[in-house]
Amino acid sequence: MLLVTGGAGFIGSNVVAALNQAGRSDVVVCDLLGTEGKWRNLAKRQLVDIVPPAELPDWLKGRKLEAMIHLGAISATTATDGDLVFETNFRLSMRLLDWCTMNAVPFIYASSAATYGDGEAGFGDDASLPALKKLRPMNLYGWSKHMFDLAVAARVANGDPLPPQWAGLKFFNVFGPNEYHKGSMMSVLARRFDDVKAGRVVQLFKSHREGIEDGDQRRDFIYVDDVVRVVMWLLATPSVSGLFNVGTGKARSFRDLMLAAYAALGTRPNIEYIDMPESIRNSYQYFTQSEVDRLCRAGYNGGFTTLEDAVKAYVGDYLDRPDRFR
């Protein structure tokens, strides 16, 4: 069997869809469905079981897994409960890493571009312990992911036991179907699409940094299909281990993102710029851009979808349809 933690979430449910499409129905999801409609992310899938996180330690006893894909986390960059975030994102991850090590199970896990903080130390894909120690995440979520990356890197540096395959994936700004339960953490495109479609004004943040125009804050936007291809490639390539950036390598502005949505619908742009809330101004990333050299050197050649093509696919296949779910 394959275990996907966070499998009812955004990236997780897309990975589960890809596994089903590849003929794998022996998939177990570890997640909480809650009351935000996350079950719809899995409504078209075939699964063995959905295991609540609290029951996972007992469920794992005596199990044999082909691989564990660990995507479950508290992923809100605005989270403030330090104890809960650390317990969920670090301590649980450590327990799962130990289980995979002891049971010789490949372990693929989600890290985050939030570990890079404001980008002052760059977005290089040097996964060595000294390089990682230079990073300064700007929020609790990013810090919790960084702590786990450091723990894994320390084991590598010390020659400590690890799973037969381990891979950490620093996801940049992922967008695509099945993100609708994320509320304020949805992509701007998903949050504002109905306004775009209806011709209502779309609001983007003004810039509060000299030399950067309003709406020109830039991110490495990556379509979820590209992320899934990387995960599937790793599952098919057990010889590859390491910590990898997963982005397109090209930073684009929020304005570009929304203009691509207007273009996909063939409608006239209607954008205005509003002040960024003071509560997030000091922790707001103005620029992210991945370096994907290590992933490519490891053998990945799946390529990445351009922003315009990705937005066109997302709009045409999902957002502009009655059923928006994969």
Q: Confirm or deny that 70 is annotated as ligand binding.
A: no
Q: Confirm or deny that 71 is annotated as ligand binding.
A: yes
Element (H, E) at 281: helix 278-281
| Residue from 109, 141, 223, 300 carrying the catalytic annotation | 141
Q: Confirm or deny that 182 is annotated as ligand binding.
A: yes
Q: Confirm or deny that 112 is annotated as ligand binding.
A: no
> How far is residue 7's CA from residue 17's CA, in Å, rounded to a whole number?
10
| Residue from 182, 197, 250, 312 carrying the catalytic annotation | 182
Catalytic residue flag (residue 182): yes
Q: Confirm or deny that 284 is annotated as ligand binding.
A: yes
Catalytic residue flag (residue 273): no
The residues pairing with 204 across neighbouring beta strands, listed in sequence order, are 273
- Are 189 and 314 in contact by the 8 Å Cβ rule? The answer is yes
Q: Confirm or deny that 146 is annotated as ligand binding.
A: no
Q: Confirm or deny that 262 is annotated as ligand binding.
A: no
Q: Confirm or deny that 173 is annotated as ligand binding.
A: yes
Q: Confirm or deny that 32 is annotated as ligand binding.
A: yes
How many helices (H) and strands (E) would you count in the chain? 12, 13
Q: Confirm or deny that 205 is annotated as ligand binding.
A: yes
> How far is residue 1's CA from residue 17's CA, in Å, rounded to a whole number?
15
Spatial CA neighbour of 18 closest among 189, 233, 321, 301: 233
* CA dist list (Å): 41 to 115, 172, 231: 27, 21, 18
Q: Confirm or deny that 184 is annotated as ligand binding.
A: yes
Under 8 Å CB-to-CB from 320, ≥6 apart: which residues? 193, 197, 264, 265
Which residues participate in the annotated binding site for substrate?
173, 184, 205-208, 219, 284
List, by residue number, the catalytic residues: 141, 182
Which residues participate in the annotated binding site?
10-11, 31-32, 38, 71-75, 145, 173-174, 182, 184, 205-208, 219, 284
Which residues participate in the annotated binding site for NADP(+)?
10-11, 31-32, 38, 71-75, 145, 174, 182
